[in-house]
């Protein structure tokens, strides 16, 4: 358990120091495999999609569990492997970097570049967004992805070790690939989307709690963050993005939500929070809050990873 906790800490530090591996990223490799499998088995029904999800997530998790088993009595090897996988699946540094680039383009009054940079963070159409809408979209992405790419994998690693880390990132990657509501994936991607929702139920709410706890670091109020979360989260179409985005909106004292365009589909989302419209400086504040949430999640995860395990009584 100490090796697992140490691996999580080292992996978190590596992500903050170096960001994603530049070459041969294992998550990208998994994505290529998942794409190839999809091309061979695709049929737009839930049975096929469920089997696709189960095989890919299950096999990835089994590999992680096997590594845990092989290093059960080798703490140094377990620490190093856990750290390596943690580094590979976390995305905190990359998220902060992309959001910072958007902020820099806005500060330079270069809307075309800011809109293009924003496409690295969101799936919505960015071509017509103004300064406030770009700022809103970036803050929303920072909030949601802090939960998905930092808090959730840390918790998965704390509870399930290398198997938990690998299985969570596999499920989250499949959700990004096939879990969206499009004609092609409406049925095939159903299982991937639902599994990702299930795995993020607890991490999203921990992220919201931590965002509220650290609200004073960005000039906000814990009370406001909790009030907006409990009042507005249910308005969001996502059961997990809602709590996180609402808590961030309350902590930052901004208003999130509004109209989002995804190709030919338009979503009119209810507003979250009752503060001012988002400004470029709110992007920097959201990054600071996200970094604090990540450190808080690491502390919680390390505590879980070091939980005492039951030992069999003598004679049993």
130-155 pLDDT, tens digit per residue, is 999 999 999 999 999 999 999 999 99
In a domain, 181, yes or no: yes
In a domain, 221, yes or no: yes
What are the distances in angstroms from CA 26 to CA 36, 61, 87, 90?
15, 14, 11, 12
DSSP string, 184-197: TTTTTTHHHHHHHH
- Pair 11, 83: CB distance under 8 Å: yes
Q: Looking at residue 271, what DSSP letter applies? A: P
In a domain, 311, yes or no: no
Is the pLDDT confidence value at 311 over 70? no
In a domain, 10, yes or no: yes
Q: Give the tens place of pLDDT for each residue, 77-112.
A: 999 999 999 999 999 999 999 999 999 999 999 999
Summary count for the chain: helices (H), strands (E): 13, 4
Residue count of the chain = 316
Which residue is listed with tokens 């998550």?
Answer: 27
Determine the structural domain holding residue 203 and report its residue range: 2-305
In a domain, 313, yes or no: no
Rounded Cα gap, residues 248 and 236, in angstroms: 13
- Pair 61, 55: CB distance under 8 Å: no
In a domain, 210, yes or no: yes
In a domain, 282, yes or no: yes
> Cα–chain-centroid distance for residue 185?
21
Query: Sorting pLDDT into bands at 50, 70 and 90, what band is 227?
Result: very high
- Domain count for the chain, please give it: 1
Confidence at residue 159, expressed as pLDDT on a 0 to 100 scale: 95
Rounded Cα gap, residues 179 and 156, in angstroms: 20
Query: Sorting pLDDT into bands at 50, 70 and 90, what band is 241?
Result: very high
CA-wise closest residue to 299 among 150, 171, 164: 150
Is the pLDDT confidence value at 212 over 60? yes
> Cα–chain-centroid distance for residue 142?
9
From the number of C-beta atoms within 10 Å of its C-beta (0-12, 13-18, 19+), residue 313 rates as: exposed
In a domain, 310, yes or no: no
Strands (E) across 175-270 are located at: 254-255, 259-262, 265-268
Q: Give the tens place of pLDDT for each residue, 1-45.
A: 699 999 999 999 999 999 887 777 888 899 999 999 999 999 999
Rounded Cα gap, residues 257 and 270, in angstroms: 6
Rounded to 10 degrees, what is the CA torsion of 35, 41, 43, 46? -90
Q: Please compute the mean of the pLDDT values over residues 193-210 and round it to a whole number.
A: 97
> Cα–chain-centroid distance for residue 60?
18
Q: Please compute the mean of the pLDDT values over residues 231-235 and round it to a whole number.
A: 95
Rounded Cα gap, residues 118 and 125, in angstroms: 10
Tokens of 62: 């089994």
Angle, vertex CA 222, rays to CA 216 and CA 225, nearest 5: 110
Which residue is listed with tokens 């030919």?
Answer: 264
- Pair 196, 171: CB distance under 8 Å: yes
């Amino acid at each position: 358990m100490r090796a697992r906790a140490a691996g999580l800490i080292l992996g978190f530090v590596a992500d903050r120091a170096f960001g994603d591996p530049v070459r041969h990223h294992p998550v990208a490799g998994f994505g290529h495999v998942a794409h190839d499998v999809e091309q061979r088995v695709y049929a737009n029904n839930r049975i096929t999609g469920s089997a696709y999800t189960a095989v890919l997530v299950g096999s990835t998790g089994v590999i992680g569990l096997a590594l845990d088993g092989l290093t059960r009595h080798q703490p140094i090897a377990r620490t190093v492997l856990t750290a390596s996988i943690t580094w590979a699946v976390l995305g905190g540094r990359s998220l902060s970097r992309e959001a910072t680039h958007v902020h820099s383009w806005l500060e330079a009054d270069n809307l075309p570049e800011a809109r293009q940079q924003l496409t690295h963070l969101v799936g919505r159409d960015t071509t017509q967004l103004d300064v406030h809408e770009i700022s809103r979209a970036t803050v929303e992405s920072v909030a949601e992805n802090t939960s998905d790419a930092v808090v959730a994998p840390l918790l998965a690693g704390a509870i399930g070790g290398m198997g938990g880390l690998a299985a969570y990132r596999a499920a989250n990657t499949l959700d990004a690939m096939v879990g969206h509501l499009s004609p092609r994936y409406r049925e095939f991607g159903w299982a991937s989307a639902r599994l990702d929702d299930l795995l993020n139920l607890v991490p999203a709410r921990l992220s919201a709690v931590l965002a509220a706890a650290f609200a004073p670091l960005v000039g906000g109020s814990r009370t406001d963050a909790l009030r907006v979360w409990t009042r507005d989260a249910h308005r969001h179409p996502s059961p997990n993005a809602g709590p996180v985005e609402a808590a961030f909106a309350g902590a930052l004292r901004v208003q999130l939500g509004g109209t989002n365009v995804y190709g030919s589909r338009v979503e009119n989302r209810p507003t979250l929070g009752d503060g001012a419209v988002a400004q470029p400086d709110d992007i920097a504040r959201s990054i600071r809050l996200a970094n604090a949430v990540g450190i808080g999640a690491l502390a919680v995860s390390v505590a879980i990873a070091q939980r005492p395990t039951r030992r069999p009584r003598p004679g049993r």
